[in-house]
Structure formats: structure tokens, C-alpha cells
Amino acid sequence: MLASFLNARMVTIYRVLDDGEVGRVARQIALRRDGTELGPEDLSDLDRLPTVNSELAWRECVLLHDIVHEEAPAGRGWRSVFPLEGEGGVIGILEIVADEGMRPREASLVTGVLRIVRNHLALLDYGERDTLTGLLNRKTFETSFGKLLARPNRLARNPTSNEPSWLAVIDIDRFKSINDSYGHLFGDEVLLLVARLLRNTFRGADRLFRFGGEEFVVVLDRASAAGAAAAFDRLRVAIQNHVFPQVGRVTVSVGYTAIRPQDVPASCIERADAALYHAKRNGRNQSHNYEHLLECGQLQAKQVRSEVELF
């Protein structure tokens, strides 16, 4: 609608991703005047994506939460950059390139449209996010697992790479005793702080879920076995070293597994759970890879029965 109304050369929506301390910018969709549409960029290599600071207009838009107008590079008309606001701040950028500078009435129209978009995003967040931590909820995981599988499926068709995606189940150790000893208010604060540490540890392309209670799930986007081990252990150490108000020291146990091309949610979660329970049985505050435990003989693969049982 904006492309048509403004007769723009190009309208692009970018997603702003947190990659540690660096904000990355990834195209979600772009529409040219001739009707050509560009789809989302591949998020498998975040280092390849430009940073928010690579464009002055992007930087000012994100930092100031305001519209930026400037002459487009190489004499390609005029560019207007608008912030897309979410609950956590600027989550995207709307960029409009036109032949002439945008008039105040047109900028006001775009701002009004973005207010509607923000309200729509808030409704989506209400249904898809955990109300306490703000992480994605279990319902979202179960309905979007097919989309998560698209990453390793694409990877399986690429013989030059052997990096799958990974799923981890993370459980706060002795969380019931925290609630019993300090009360549910401090228990909720532990959950909030663990969720914050999850966000600080993982990349924007990774997906974070709260499954309920003290259990969290992470889908780590494309990493080597060594990289996955380092990422999950980095989280474990960060939580172990964090000082939680009143409670003091909190630890987590982590079990994770490689996502296979033909996986279903239940089988993937079951493998990660098996590695998690191994960590729990062997002292807690550990991170274990299911496939590695199988290779070492510390776990036995569950036998799948071929016959159908009726009950």
C-alpha cells in the first residue's frame, strides 16, 4: 500500500537483530516500483549482515526512535527511514526510497500505518509470548517447528556445510526449593533474570522459549558441534556466576541435540530431555550433548517399536 500510494522506487522492511553487542540489519522483504519482490535474507551467517552503525540513517533512526530523511546514495532520489517499534524497543526499520523528498503529510500517513502495525505486533506477542518472561511460549514452538526444520533441511541440500541447528532444554536446578524457601515472588525474579541471561547469550537468529515452570528451550541456528557446546556452556557459566537477589547462587542443567531433517517436535525434545536428565543424575550444573553421550556409551538410544498399539 505504501509503495503504491507514495509511488516509491523501493520500500524495504528490515529486521534489527541483536548479535551480542552488535545490532545487525537483515532484509525481510522489499518491493520495487516495477513489482519485483525481494524476500528475506539468509540468517545463517550473521557476520555477513550489515550493522546498524554501517548506515548513518539507520543508526540515528534506531538510537533516536525517530524518522530520518536524507538524499539516497548515488543520486537515487530521497530516502526516508522509519523505526518499527516493539515491546523491547526498535525491532525493525522501514526504508522508503522515492524520486522526491517525503512531504510532512506523507510522513504522517506512514507514521499512522506503523502505529497500526505496532498494535498488531502487540496482539501477536500477547498470543505468542510468555507473559512473565517475554520469551516465546510453548504453543509457538509447537506450531512453528516445521519452519525451524527448514534450516537444517536447506543445510542438508548443501554438501559444503555440516553445521546443523540445535535444540536445548534448560532446567533451573532445585527451583522448587527456591520457591519454598524464598517465595514465588523471588522465584519469578529468578525466571526473569534467567530469561535476560538467555537473551544476552544467544544471537538474534536463535529462538528462545519458555516451556513453563522452570524449563526453557533454545533453538540454536546453525553451529558446529564445538560451537553449540561453547554456546550452551557459556549460558550455564553465566547463570552460575550471576548473583541473584536474595537467592544468591542459581544453576541450570542443559541437554541438547542436533535437529535432524525428518524430526518431529516430540522426538527432538525427547533426545534433549534424555541428555538433560543425565546432567541432573550426575550432579546438576552441567551441559550435555545427546549424540556425544550415545557415542561414549553413557546413554542408550531408545528402541522404536514398529507395531501399532491400540489402547
Catalytic residues: 214
Q: Name beta bridge partners: 14.
A: 27, 93
Q: How far apart are CA 55 and CA 198, in angstroms?
A: 28
Alpha carbon of residue 164 to chain centroid: 16
Give the pairing of strands 78-86 and 68-71.
antiparallel
Q: 214 and 133 in contact (C-beta within 8 Å)?
A: no
* Orientation of helix 184-201 relative to helix 225-241, angle to 10°: 140
C-alpha cell at 127: 498470543
**Judging by beta carbons within 10 Å of its beta carbon (0-12, 13-18, 19+), is residue 290 exposed, middle or buried?**
buried
Q: 76 and 101 in contact (C-beta within 8 Å)?
A: no
**Judging by beta carbons within 10 Å of its beta carbon (0-12, 13-18, 19+), is residue 248 exposed, middle or buried?**
exposed
Q: 242 and 164 in contact (C-beta within 8 Å)?
A: no
DSSP letter at 51 equals: B
Q: How far apart are CA 16 and CA 84, in angstroms?
A: 9
